[in-house]
Structure 1
Amino acid sequence: MNALTTPNALDLAAAMEWWRDAGVDMDFTDDATVWLSDEDAAAPPANAPTGHANGSDSKPTQHSEKAPEQIPDVARVDLIGDSPPATLAEFHTFWLEASGLDAIGPRGRIAPRGTAGAETMVLVCDPEERDRDTLLSGQQGELLGRMFAAMGIAEDTAYFASALPRHTPMADTAAIAKGGMDAVTALHIQLVAPKRVIALGTNILPFLGHDRTQDFTSLREINHRSVNTPLLISEGLDAMMSMPRLKARFWRRWIEWSAGK
Structure 2
Amino acid sequence: MSRPELSIAREFEAALAWWHAAGVDCDYAGDATAWLADVPLAKPTADANKAGSSRGGSAQAPGPASESVAARSLPAAPPSPPATLRRDLLGESPPQDLAAFRDWWMTAQGIDTARAFPRIAPRGEAEAALMVLVPQPEEADRDRLLSGPQGRLLANILGAIGLDESAVYIAAALPCHTPMADLAMLAAGGMDAVTAHHISLVRPARVIAFGTGLAPMLGANEAEQPLREINHAGGKAPVMVSETLDSLMEMPRLKARFWRRWTQWSPPL
Q: Which residue of 2 aligns with 1:82?
A: 92
Q: Which residue of 1 aligns with 2:53?
A: none
Q: Which residue of 2 aligns with 1:239?
A: 247
Structure 2 CA distance for aligned equivalents of residues 89 and 211 of structure 1: 30
TM-score by length of 1: 0.69
Q: Which residue of 2 aligns with 1:130?
A: 140
Aligned residue runs from structure 1 range 28-177, under 5 A = 73-104=83-114, 108-177=118-187
Please say if 1:253 is aligned against 2:261.
Answer: yes
Q: Which amino acid aligns with 2:206?
A: R
Secondary structure in 2 matching 1:159: strand
Question: Which of 205, 214, 228 lines up with 1:220 in the alignment?
Answer: 228
Q: Is the 8 A contact 1:110 1:131 kept in 2?
A: yes
Aligned residue runs from structure 1 range 202-221, under 5 A = 202-212=212-222, 214-217=223-226, 219-221=227-229
Shift of 1:181: 0.3
How many residue pairs are counted as aligned between the two chains?
Answer: 190
Identity of aligned residues (%): 55
Shift of 1:186: 0.4
| Runs of 4+, deviation exceeding 6 Å | none
Q: Is the 8 A contact 1:99 1:106 kept in 2?
A: no
- Higher RCO (CA-CA < 8 Å; seq separation 6+): 1
- Structural RMSD (CA): 2.0
Structure 1: runs of 5 or more not aligned: 1-69
Q: 1:180 to 1:200 in 2, by over 3 A?
A: same
TM-score by length of 2: 0.67
Structure 2 CA distance for aligned equivalents of residues 211 and 236 of structure 1: 16
Secondary structure in 2 matching 1:231: strand
Q: Which amino acid aligns with 1:186?
A: A
Structure 2 CA distance for aligned equivalents of residues 224 and 135 of structure 1: 24
Shift of 1:259: 3.0
Larger Rg: 2
Q: 1:71 to 1:173 in 2, by over 3 A?
A: farther
